[in-house]
Amino acid sequence: QVQLVESGGGLVQAGGSLRLSCAPSGRTVSEYAMGWFRQAPGKEREFVAAISWDGFSTNYADSVKGRFTISRGNAKNTVYLQMNRLKPEDTAKYHCAAQTLYSGSPDTYGSNYDYWGQGTQVTVSS
């Protein structure tokens, strides 16, 4: 069983930056593809970004492309989401997820991920 723990959320003004981290406890995720998803109150969960197990391939939602960057740490066991030029519409709870069976490209469908963290809240004020 993999437990994922997110950190780094908070309150920031529009135009600001935050860096989210996702680290596992109990088991490594260095061989798993990883993704970030977010859910705002009253809205469905949506894909944000994903990265392949080796860190060489990434995928982004159009709404964050050019502003957010997903990456893996040197040991590939921690995943980061650098968020720049934040907008009020980025306000949501952000969850990281691990995919044990890599599909060949970073997956945008949450249903294809096997493990999820509890999330970290990001609030962007205007």
pLDDT in tens, 44-55: 999 999 999 999
pLDDT in tens, 96-124: 999 998 888 899 999 999 999 999 999 99
Output the CA–CA distances (angstroms, integers) from residue 56 to 11, 23, 52, 67, in the order listed.
31, 19, 6, 19
Strands 68-72, 79-83: pairing kind: antiparallel
* pLDDT given for residue 76 in this prediction: 83
